[in-house]
Amino acid sequence: MTASATSRWIPPKALLPFRVTLKEGTEAFRRWIRGLWFAPDDLKEYAQAEGRLAGVYVPYWTYDSDTTSFYRGSRGDDYYTSENYTARVNGRSVTRTRQVRRTRWRPASGTVWNHFDDVLVLAGNSLPRAYAERLEPWDLGNLVAYRNEYLSGFRAERYQVNLAAGYEMARQIMDTRIRDSIRRDIGGDHQRIDTVKSSYENITFKHILLPVWMSAFRYRDKVYRILINARTGELQGERPYSAWKIAGAVLAALVIIAIIAIFASLDQ
């Protein structure tokens, strides 16, 4: 990442056009509201009155890289031994045998190579990151070259996470996958990773826009947001809970448990 690449504005290179229509997104939103458990009774009315979908192109970075990682750690292989123990049976002490699992550890080291293609990093701060990540996967193989015509009728956000900061986030994602590949390389039943040294080569990036239907509704002085992947229809959102309904469900469960316990005691 060069200083010039991180300081100047980088225009979008590609995007995914909207596939899920406004009508389809609205119906998915209504189904989601209807399917909520322990939701306040008046939530549907609030959501229908205030909830409106807006189409937004959300900025993302994608990063490609080839990595070489040298590691040191340990491999654990399980084995079983027989162990005697004493148990009380009908008031008497008896000796029994059981199998006990143990682990034999030995040093492990090696090198793993990984190729990363389109590691996706959210470049905006307006969306709840946890919910945005749950909209994945995106069909990035269908990206098309950016043209202003695609933005007609939709809002497009500018990125707020710059290229360098996005790359550090991508490195964290890559590191998780690198460690997964190291565990596979170590093998055995258990793995310990002590040190990892990775080099990154052939690094490339793209600024892309991905389509999201968004909605927000206010319920009792708090705003709840809904996100829909406008390619797949995947919906993620925030929602309120009814404390009364939860308390009623807990009470009903306790009553059922008490009834089962009473009948169980009568059978003895």
Query: What pLDDT, in 10s, does the model give residues 7-52?
Result: 688 999 999 999 999 999 888 877 777 665 545 455 555 555 445 7
pTM of the shown model:
0.76
Question: What are the Cα distances from residue 58, in Å, to 34, 154, 248?
Answer: 27, 11, 41
**CA distance linking residue 32 with residue 34, whole number of Å:** 5
- Looking at the structure of the chain, the number of domains it has is 1
pLDDT of residue 165: 95
Q: Tokens representing 77?
A: 């292989």
Angular region, 223: left φ>0, alpha ψ -120 to 50, beta rest: beta
Contact call for residues 117 and 125 (beta carbons, < 8 A): no
**CA distance linking residue 31 with residue 109, whole number of Å:** 52
pLDDT of residue 247: 45
Question: What are the Cα distances from residue 65, in Å, to 114, 167, 245?
Answer: 8, 11, 50
pLDDT of residue 215: 82
3-state secondary structure the chain: CCHHHHHCCCCCCEECCCCCCHHHHHHHHHHHHHCCCCCCCCHHHHHHHHCCCEEEEEEEEEEEEEEEEEEEEEEEEEEEEEEEEEEEECCEEEEEEEEEEEEEEEEEEEEEEEEEEEEEEECCCCCCHHHHHCCCCCCHHHCEECCHHHHCCCEECCCCCCHHHHHHHHHHHHHHHHHHHHHHHHCCCEEEEEEEEEEEEEEEEEEEEEEEEEEEEEECCEEEEEEEECCCCCEEECCCCCHHHHHHHHHHHHHHHHHHHHHHHHHC
pLDDT of residue 261: 57
Which residue ranges of the chain lie beneath pLDDT 70? 1-7, 34-51, 217-221, 238-268
pLDDT of residue 203: 96
Range of the domain at 245: 3-267
